[in-house]
Structure 1
Amino acid sequence: MRFHLGAIMVWTSLLTAAGSAADPQPTPVDGKTGLISRKIFFGNPDKASVEISPDGKQISFLAPVDGVLNVFVGPIGDPKAAKPVTKDTKRDIRQYFWAFSNHHILYLQDDGGNENFHLFRVDLADNDVKDLTPEKGVRALPSGVSHKFPLDILVGLNDRDPRYHDIYKINIASGARELVQKNPDFASFLADDDYKIRFAFKYNIDGSQSALQPDGKGGWKEFLSIPMADSLTTRPVGFNKSGDELYLIDSRNRDTGAFFSWNLKTGQQTLIAQDAKCDVGQIMEHPTEKTIQAVGFIYDRKRWEFKDPEVKADFEILSKVVDGDVNVSSRTLDDSQWIVSYLLDNGPVRFYHFDRKTKKSTFLFTNRKEMEGLTLQKMHPRVIKSRDGLDLVSYLTLPPGSDDGNGKAIHPVPLVLLVHGGPWARDGWGLNGYHQFLSNRGYAVLSVNFRGSTGFGKKFLNAGNKEWAGKMHDDLIDAVDWAIAEKITTPGKVAIMGGSYGGYATLVGLTFTPDKFACGVDIVGPSNIVTLLNTIPPYWAPGVQLFKDRVGDHTSEDGKNFLHDRSPLSKVSSIKKPLLIGQGANDPRVKQAESDQIVHAMKEKKIPVSYVLFPDEGHGFARPNNNLAFNAVTEAFLAKYLGGRYEAIGDAFENSTIKVPEGVSDVPGLKEKLPVGK
């Protein structure tokens, strides 16, 4: 790595200029200023993950108990009577579901963010909680639930070999387990409602994926070969009621992933639904009949293509209740009752109970009551052209006073480029905590689906292959240039921020394009792609070929050299703008060493950096107290280097495990509020 004295001189002059005047002062949170408390954006929701029991008699949801999300259950006719049935005191429960017994709740929980999830069950008769997968260091992966087996569940466990998940059938009442399928080296399995393993999936050395069927002799035979170009846009997703038709999302011989049925007896494939601009995003099927009712597509906003006229008629009724994107989030086994959620961009999610027989919608609650009545900002879909002609579906939120009502900026403001993780994921429309939080602080916020993002067809996805810090970053720069040309912002007033891949993109922004951004906020982002891929969790081993094909080969010398050149760690000397890094010590995906090594390299070159570490977090900050603490640091950091408003740190560190190994003095108010020894 070369040392650039000029970079240090520019950084030093920037800090001297910023430090020569007093740090920006916090803005009071009140009606006069319009500043909204960060707790409203990042504290736990009042209600979340609302479900109806299979028999329709009970409702469940996640809600806080002493600040920790637990599962509540109550009668469907009286949600206010719901009581907590779980007892977690340290970490929020984030994933749970009903067993078809109607008397059990199942949920997943890990330890300190290590992602070694255990599967727990709650017996609602006495609220007895049992760990069904108590082995240490083992990751439980629910792999099949069926109404035909109300007391059994299929679960993948990597207890025999940490790389591979064998499939067990576990009795949720007793915990007794039975091995269903040993895993020799497969990435995943697909079972039917009879708990028969119908397919296994395997990545091949050429990047293709094979869907294999049991050969009847204890082995496997190939049923379907999926080329590398289609491996993230083609996949079997289930079966019809009789099990003789396979439902398949398929992009082979086309661009976007369309929805097909495949007759396994005749081999005939029938197209059910397609969209020329985007892949299938959601499928609604009857819970027991397995008939396809509707197929959802998301380009910039959700669009439903209906296959069941009764479901179509119900959606027409539901669309008149609330002006937002409609989603059926839960339903009874006979499909007579639905829990319907309405997604808005400037208000909390609204939940309703819908009786399909009477067509009556009953309002239940919103997910964040404190947001009700607040003036929040609209999110505007925008399609930005990349320099080589790709359509980048993006989302823009403008701060109060700068939006003409249609997403046209009245005057330029500082902008935060918010980059999604994955990178094989996507941004979408709806209420986004960071968009609302940052726009309330005075920033425009822009999220860009850069090439490599999923949902827009395989050509767009594959255009990102081996383009980390290459054309994927060019797309982000093109979006910034668009925002400047549209007079949304001005040069020198743009920050870059994101988590996971978005954190990596932040580091790329400050190293590969050091003059483009005023500052950056990296959350659990890798700094060295070679060390990232050398330390992935063992259970990712069956899919490691995907990384070789789409990121680069970390096992060959040429590949290592290529990845070294695409790693921000190799260009640390180029950094000349302020950087804030957030990391969880237990992160199994992006190890703490990824942040430690770039912080160490910056210290060696005397380049200032602010580093926030949480010893009880993993890949992201799951504990609300830690999330609030980090965002208190973030908004003070952005206020100093980008010029927006911020709420005083106040009690944000209360009950947080925050540590700041480096850069305490570079964030306004941090030194005074940080507990001694942190």
Structure 2
Amino acid sequence: MTVPTATGDVRLRRALLAAERDTSPRLSPDGRSIAFLRTGDSGPEVWLRTGDGAERRLAAHHAEAVQDLRWTADGSALLYRHSPRGRESWALSGLRGAAFDPIRISSGGSVTEYWLSATEPDALVYSHRDARSRSTRLFQAGLGDHDRDPGGGPRLVAADPGFHRWLVDSALRPRGGTRFAADGSTEIVLGDDLGTARTVLTVPVDATPDLAVYGFSRDGERLFLLTGGATGTRRLVAVGSRDGSAATLFEHPELDVGGYPIGNDGVWFDPVTGEPDLCAVMDQRLRYHGLTARARAAVASLAATDEHSAVILDRSADDRTWLIVRVHDDGPIAYHSYDPATGEAEPLFVNRPDLVGRELSRLEDFRFTAGDGLAISGYAMRPRSGRPPYPTVVLVHGGPAGRDLWRFHADAQYLASLGYLSLHVNYRGSKGFGGAFRMAGYGEWGGLMQHDLYDAVASGVASGLVDPARVAFCGASYGGYASLLAACTRQDLVRCAVAISPPCDLVSFTERPPPYWQPLAVLLRRQVLGARDSAHYRGRLDERALRRRSPAQALDASCAPLLLAHGVRDPRVPVAEVDRFAERAGDLGVPVRYLRFEDEGHHVRSNANRQTLFTEIERFLETHLGV
């Protein structure tokens, strides 16, 4: 193997720290063009790639976030939502016609969702929340309104009847919505119109994390959704919009329906019929399950291999052309045009062109048995040089009902380039492995979920992979909380910790959750405090126990060195909470470095800020782990 030069190392790390360049591609209805986002140092831009490979910039939204790109049914316009970075307050804009002229559909407040008509390409409906209210109203707009009438614009369709999310059919008729009951359960409210809507299905509070609503069948008679619960797995269900009858369309006996975040959430629909025809589950790798003979044949050549997993991103209106991406663990993901009839794939472009041809580390499966006998899985990434045991960073995923996946992990690759092993643990409470496994994390913030992480280190030490004298924890959101707690309570195990956007005080977190989480307050408390009336409930945690499990209360002068990072715009974890923690740690004499990003929210997104963050992480780990 060729040893990279110092200059090569610097260039590699700079490329790993940069945001993905080309992302979020959307296939035009005729299958001939692809709209996508291109992100540079200034921020995201909307681009178009035509069938001959030519590329063209359509719009720039520097210092913003852009998401939810969608074509109208005839391909005459492209819509998307955008927000100042970290604000999570979304405007709806678009580009129309052969010249892709810009149109602004909404401003002020936040567009939470929008729907396009299958038969009237000029029409759309969107839900909108005012800046100072949690109330969400429904508006209708036409893409040509402002051309025909300068005083025209969106028209109110319906005021808020207490819905968390609206349900709109393909004819853009509001048919109901979802709303939270006092006990935290979710009510599915349906009818031929809002005047006749009634609750047809109640999803228990403990099944709410599994709930995903896709939309109506073409005739409006069925609503497709994913649901799970305390037992069984997340499954695809069709609910009768008139009588609430529920029929399971697909269920795996061991794994939840789900997929990669870059694609659909485990369910794909035939664009010709509007019916679901594919489902997927994720164990260590993605597995497809065709619901029709045609779909089974189409995905036969998309089965995961040792080299990549193929993810379906989009399908043309006639279903003759699919847009897929091949996910690699040791290189950039590669977009392809795929013919479902022949199984042939034609390469298009990659998301990180600066990494093409680089020799990078691979992910390997990592499995162990927790102290109480529960089987836990995850991944490990070794550095390409050196010999075990390695200095190790435990990368704790957020959620906690998230999960780690087999994928290209830029942060882990960065650590590997510095000589660190990384562990990626799907501790109890992670999603994807059934309701019982997810709910095994209820009441275990700082408890058994935390001990799963410590058991992972112990397993790595026993196998000879992990150097027990050089272990760090690193994570964001819940992962930041777990990393902080480890530094405060397990100095015998953890030499230092990196915590990004961490909740610091479980007492205030459960008693006074941030406004962002108010609709889910009951579920949040059940997750943190324990699941009452659940087979996994081990007794309600009292305030004393919450304090023991809170980094803010466990912090003392013996805490391991800390690197903290937080976005001032974060709507989920108040910046003042992290400010207080950092100040108190410094007053106690704990070695602490605090990065406060004025232009970020719950995540550190910009290339410049990621460069700053990981440069500090590199110095921090070198100081405390000695690499």
TM, length-normalised to structure 2? 0.89
Deviation at 1:245, TM superposition (A): 2.7
1:284 to 268, 272, 276: 268
Deviation at 1:393, TM superposition (A): 2.2
Counterpart of 2:320 in structure 1: which amino acid?
S
Q: Retained in 2: the 8 A contact 1:536–1:588?
A: no
Which residue matches 1:483? 460
Q: Retained in 2: the 8 A contact 1:495–1:518?
A: yes
Which residue matches 1:157? 128
Which residue matches 1:105? 78
Structure 2 residue 117 is the aligned partner of structure 1 residue 133: no
Structure 2 residue 479 is the aligned partner of structure 1 residue 502: yes
Q: 1:536 to 1:624 in 2, by over 3 A?
A: farther
Greater displacement, 511-520 / 198-207: 198-207
Which residue matches 1:73? 48
Q: Secondary structure at the match of 1:493?
A: strand
2:170 to 167, 173, 193: 193
Q: 1:225 to 1:317 in 2, by over 3 A?
A: closer
Structure 2 residue 609 is the aligned partner of structure 1 residue 588: no
Which residue matches 1:147? 118
Q: Secondary structure at the match of 2:138?
A: strand
Deviations 1:17-75 (A, max 9, x none): xxxxxxxxxxx972798666322112133322222111223222222466432111132
Deviation at 1:419, TM superposition (A): 0.5
Deviation at 1:457, TM superposition (A): 1.2
Structure 2 residue 620 is the aligned partner of structure 1 residue 627: no
Q: Secondary structure at the match of 1:162?
A: coil
Counterpart of 1:307 in structure 2: which amino acid?
L
Deviations 1:311-363 (A, max 9, x none): 33232345599941111112212212111110111111111112446654321
Which residue matches 1:183? 160
Structure 2 residue 434 is the aligned partner of structure 1 residue 434: no
Q: 1:160 to 1:438 in 2, by over 3 A?
A: closer
Greater displacement, 273-282 / 533-542: 533-542
Deviation at 1:503, TM superposition (A): 0.7
Query: In structure 1, what is the Cα distance between the partners aligned to 2:323 and 2:595?
Result: 40
Deviations 1:583-602 (A, max 9, x none): 11111111211210101111
Query: In structure 2, what is the Cα distance between the partners aligned to 1:481 and 1:622?
Result: 33
Which residue matches 1:166? 137
Q: Retained in 1: the 8 A contact 2:557–2:590?
A: no
Structure 2 residue 245 is the aligned partner of structure 1 residue 245: no
Q: Secondary structure at the match of 2:556?
A: helix
Q: 1:227 to 1:44 in 2, by over 3 A?
A: closer
Higher relative contact order (CA 8 A, sep 6+): 1
Structure 2 residue 34 is the aligned partner of structure 1 residue 59: yes
Which residue matches 2:533? none
Q: 1:490 to 1:130 in 2, by over 3 A?
A: same
Structure 2 residue 56 is the aligned partner of structure 1 residue 83: yes
Which residue matches 1:599? 582
Q: Retained in 1: the 8 A contact 2:368–2:375?
A: yes
Deviation at 1:266, TM superposition (A): 7.3
Which residue matches 1:114? 87
Q: Retained in 1: the 8 A contact 2:514–2:571?
A: yes
Deviation at 1:474, TM superposition (A): 1.2
Which residue matches 1:347? 331
Deviation at 1:101, TM superposition (A): 4.1
Query: In structure 2, what is the Cα distance between the partners aligned to 1:545 and 1:167?
Result: 26
Matches within 5 A, 1:179-578: 179-214=156-191, 218=195, 220-251=197-228, 254-263=231-240, 269-281=246-258, 282-318=266-302, 323-356=307-340, 360-401=344-385, 411-532=388-509, 538=515, 540-552=517-529, 562-573=545-556, 575-578=558-561
Counterpart of 2:104 in structure 1: which amino acid?
D
Counterpart of 2:175 in structure 1: which amino acid?
R
Query: In structure 2, what is the Cα distance between the partners aligned to 1:539 and 1:179?
Result: 25
Q: 1:215 to 1:271 in 2, by over 3 A?
A: closer
Greater displacement, 535-544 / 575-584: 535-544
Query: In structure 2, what is the Cα distance between the partners aligned to 1:520 and 1:252?
Result: 34
Query: In structure 2, what is the Cα distance between the partners aligned to 1:471 and 1:321?
Result: 34
Deviations 1:370-429 (A, max 9, x none): 211111111112232222222222111111146xxxxxxx62011100001111211111
Query: In structure 1, what is the Cα distance between the partners aligned to 2:614 and 2:512?
Result: 28
Q: Secondary structure at the match of 2:209?
A: coil
**Percent identity at matched positions?**
27
Counterpart of 1:181 in structure 2: which amino acid?
A
Deviation at 1:494, TM superposition (A): 0.7
Deviation at 1:295, TM superposition (A): 0.5
Deviations 1:482-521 (A, max 9, x none): 1111111122211000011111111111113232201000
Q: Retained in 2: the 8 A contact 1:525–1:594?
A: no
Structure 2 residue 21 is the aligned partner of structure 1 residue 37: no
Query: In structure 1, what is the Cα distance between the partners aligned to 2:192 and 2:517?
Result: 26
Deviation at 1:87, TM superposition (A): 2.1
Q: 1:73 to 1:235 in 2, by over 3 A?
A: closer
Q: 1:565 to 1:359 in 2, by over 3 A?
A: closer
Q: Secondary structure at the match of 1:551?
A: helix
Query: In structure 2, what is the Cα distance between the partners aligned to 1:561 and 1:219?
Result: 49
Q: 1:217 to 1:528 in 2, by over 3 A?
A: closer
Structure 2: tracts of 5 or more residues without a match:
147-152, 259-265, 531-539
Which residue matches 2:535? none
Deviations 1:80-114 (A, max 9, x none): x2111112233353542323341222222222411
Q: 1:160 to 1:195 in 2, by over 3 A?
A: farther
Which residue matches 1:641? 624
Q: 1:203 to 1:549 in 2, by over 3 A?
A: farther
Q: Secondary structure at the match of 1:347?
A: coil
Query: In structure 1, what is the Cα distance between the partners aligned to 2:512 and 2:100?
Result: 39
Deviation at 1:220, TM superposition (A): 4.8
Deviations 1:525-581 (A, max 9, x none): 12123444577554543222221222249xxx9965554343210111154321000
Counterpart of 1:379 in structure 2: which amino acid?
L
Q: Retained in 2: the 8 A contact 1:100–1:151?
A: no
Deviation at 1:215, TM superposition (A): 8.6
RMSD after superposition = 2.8
Query: In structure 2, what is the Cα distance between the partners aligned to 1:463 and 1:218?
Result: 41
Q: 1:328 to 1:494 in 2, by over 3 A?
A: same
Greater displacement, 254-263 / 32-41: 32-41
Q: 1:547 to 1:291 in 2, by over 3 A?
A: same
TM, length-normalised to structure 1? 0.83
Greater displacement, 608-617 / 224-233: 224-233
Greater displacement, 513-522 / 197-206: 197-206
